[in-house]
Chains A and B, each alone.
Chain A
Amino acid sequence: DAGITQSPRYKITETGRQVTLMCHQTWSHSYMFWYRQDLGHGLRLIYYSAAADITDKGEVPDGYVVSRSKTENFPLTLESATRSQTSVYFCASIRGSGANVLTFGAGSRLTVL
């Protein structure tokens, strides 16, 4: 299916476990982003990527790792999950030029116990 998909949609894990959230887009957009949204708050940028193999930190990168070996995939890994990482995570993508729309996935709700 065309679009941007995130998986899993819901995940419960325990403190200290490694968790990977997947993001896949079918448009070959060059730019991809990961945001987190805590209850009652706005979106905060974790990491972003300008192209395959090019990633950079956002506002709140600590505790997260990203990779982008293929243009269409941008996984986000919590190497050792903490309770403070309980949040809803949104992936987004956009083409690099012109009046294009930043399109978001449906979100992944992560609970760390």
Chain B
Amino acid sequence: DAKTTQPPSMDCAEGRAANLPCNHSTISGNEYVYWYRQIHSQGPQYIIHGLKNNETNEMASLIITEDRKSSTLILPHATLRDTAVYYCIVRPIYMEYGNKLVFGAGTILRVKS
């Protein structure tokens, strides 16, 4: 079973910030939070990841709560091209035999003009 839960869908106006939440209440101290997105039927693409601190790159920002039980992906100025399915997953820092990377259903983000 996926270790994360996300809302099934969200809408966002073009040019506004899109804030996508993810709950990972059972995350352990040695697990990262990773975000991916999937446009149409392409392979999912990496967006950003974090362990404890907030992170920012050219695509997005990641805000992780102090207790690490939830996080929010922020697309600061959403465009129509950001319409996609967004997945958050948790994964161990050091992968070991038995570590499965299971994805949940993700959040469908619809950016509207």
CB–CB B102/A58 < 8 A: yes
Chain B at the A interface: SS class: loop
Q: From B44, B46, B95, give the contact of A97 (CB < 8 A).
A: B95
| A107-B43 contact given A43-B87, A94-B95, CB 8 Å threshold | yes
Query: In angstroms, how far is the closest chain B Cβ from the Cβ of A26?
Result: 16
Smallest CB–CB gap between A58 and chain B, Å? 6
Quick check: A97 and B93 within 8 Å, CB to CB?
Answer: yes
By the criterion CB–CB under 8 Å, are A42 and B97 in contact? no
> Are A104's CB and B43's CB within 8 A?
yes
Known: A42-B85, A42-B105. A88 touches B91 (CB 8 A): no
Q: Which of chain A's residues have a CB closer than 8 A to the CB of B43?
A: 90, 92, 104-107
B36 to chain A, nearest CB (A): 8
A interface, size bucket: 20 to 34
CB distance from A38 to the nearest CB of B (A): 11
Chain B proximity mask over A80-101: 1 for CB below 8 Å, otherwise 0: 0000000010101010111101
A56 pairs with B97, CB closer than 8 A: yes
CB distance from A21 to the nearest CB of B (A): 14
Q: A90-B44, A103-B46, A107-B43 are in contact. Are A45 and B101 (CB under 8 A)?
A: yes
B49 nearest in chain A by CB position: A99
